[in-house]
Amino acid sequence: MSAFFSAFAHLVGQLADLLQPLFHTGSAAAAIVLFTACVRLAVHPLSRASARGQKARTRLAPQIAELRKKHGKNPERMQKALMELHTKEKVSPLSGCLPSLAQMPAFFLMYHLFSQREIGGEPNELLSHSLFAAPLGDRWPDALSAAGGGVFGGAGVVYLALFAIVAAVATFNFRRTRIQMASAPAPALPEGPDGQPVPGMGAMMKVMPLMSFATLFTVAVVPLAAALYVVTSTTWSAAERYFLYRDMPAAGAAAPVTAL
């Protein structure tokens, strides 16, 4: 495992070296943003599949309602009928989870890389890089310390800029989700294998429009390098969902943009 982290650290370092003529001391930060964009491009086919699945499930809602009326008292028969319907229409009930799951290894890899003082028994040279005055291995509390200059010090201003971007994206997501939910006053709740609404999902859907703001907490507690990954990925997700679901006014209301 240490060899894997060493190889990835070397890859990020080489990418930073390539970007150095353009971004100078911020080359490692630029490498992280570029790496994140590459991850999101790789995951984009899954996001498109998720969008197709969401649209298909919306299209199938009347048929599912009929199955529920017909087999509501027989969960096993209901589950079998749902599976047959999904297979016939080539819809995967789990497609909506795949994009986030596929990105988790990349996020944790970035988190680990900038949380270790040593990689493969050698000093972690990536920790010497910074974004303006903010070291990539530091966290927001480090920026708030006397050594970091406080809220309006050099490092603090970097975090204020990241918080502003996250807040703007979260506000966009919040407003768009509220509009979507208003256009569908009685959206269908996510269903379990038996075709019945998942318990507690009604209350969760009311809270979901606020979930994007949780990214602010993530940015505040992880190393700056991981925070850059989160901010880039979240911004990409917001733009991606806007274009993928633009022809589906009530789509995506139950699937807020997350940090990953």
What is the model's pLDDT at position 188? 46
Give pLDDT tens digits for 201-218.
Answer: 555 556 666 777 889 999
Give pLDDT tens digits for 161-197.
Answer: 999 999 999 998 888 877 766 655 444 445 554 445 5
In a domain, 76, yes or no: yes
What is the model's pLDDT at position 161? 96
What is the model's pLDDT at position 255? 46
In a domain, 255, yes or no: no
Give pLDDT tens digits for 64-77.
Answer: 778 778 877 777 77
Report d(CA 176, CA 195) in Å as an integer: 28
In a domain, 190, yes or no: yes
In a domain, 254, yes or no: no
Report d(CA 25, CA 23) in Å as an integer: 6
Long-range contacts of 73-80 (CB under 8 A, 24+ apart): 75/194, 75/195, 75/196, 76/194, 78/194, 78/195, 78/196, 79/193, 79/194, 79/195
- Six token digits for residue 18: 């390539």
Report d(CA 113, CA 18) in Å as an integer: 19
- Enter the pTM of the model: 0.76
What is the model's pLDDT at position 187? 44
Mean pLDDT of 99-124: 80
Going along 26-163, which residue ranges are E strands? 118-119, 122-123, 130-131, 134-135
In a domain, 26, yes or no: yes
Give pLDDT tens digits for 154-166.
Answer: 999 999 999 999 9
Range from 7-11, 26-30, 114-118, 148-152 that averages highest in pLDDT: 26-30
How many domains does the chain contain in total?
1
In a domain, 249, yes or no: no
In a domain, 256, yes or no: no
In a domain, 91, yes or no: yes
* Residue 11 lies in domain: 2-244
How many helices, marked H, and strands, marked E, lie in the chain? 9, 4
What is the model's pLDDT at position 175? 84
